[in-house]
A and B are shown apart, each in its own frame.
Chain A
């Protein structure tokens, strides 16, 4: 399973059908396309931290806009 697939599976688990994971790609925007509000972003960040062993800092909440940005964070490129 690729990291993108693993991330999509995580979104599906955490948000339990509230977002349409079938349409998620790397370019998918977290706020505009997935309609994540502040609490959704918090859940997303904690879920990624728990499952991928990364830690979100303040700049991440400003800079991470798309699924690709989350992947870059996971891969240590942010």
Chain B
């Protein structure tokens, strides 16, 4: 998966840079981005972080939009945009946020690929393992 500045389409993964990480969402249209939590959840009780629908400006919070460009293999594996939309909207209101084990990146990967995965968390884990195994 690579990231571009191109305009997203329904069912695309979008992200915005927030300090040292990215916040992810599922783009449906300019009024409808489904995201797990907000770009900045500082000060928010994790119990109150939920899957929600906002417009694109709220999702971006002044940041720059990036749209996922899937590889050929990823395009084959992903759910249809319509199914992604259905999955995302069906989870609105869901809680259980955990930055390590159930974050916004996990959410979008579940909606698009049916896979509970966070590249960011995985890469930090790899980095830690490399350091500990030196």
Contact = CB atoms under 8 A, between A and B. Distances in A.
Enumerate the 3 nearest inter-chain pairs by beta-carbon distance, A residue then B residue, closest first. A58-B46, A39-B20, A47-B128
A45 B46 CA distance: 16
Interface string A28-71: 00000000001100110111011100011110011000000000
Interface residues of B, number: 20
Most interface-central of B21, B46, B128 (chain A CB within 10 A):
B128
Nearest to B98: A58
Interface residue SS majority, chain A: helix
User: Is chain B's binding surface mostly helix, strand, loop or mixed?
Assistant: mixed
B99 A42 contact: yes
13 contacts: A14-B131, A16-B131, A38-B20, A38-B42, A42-B99, A42-B100, A46-B124, A47-B132, A50-B125, A55-B101, A56-B100, A58-B47, A62-B45
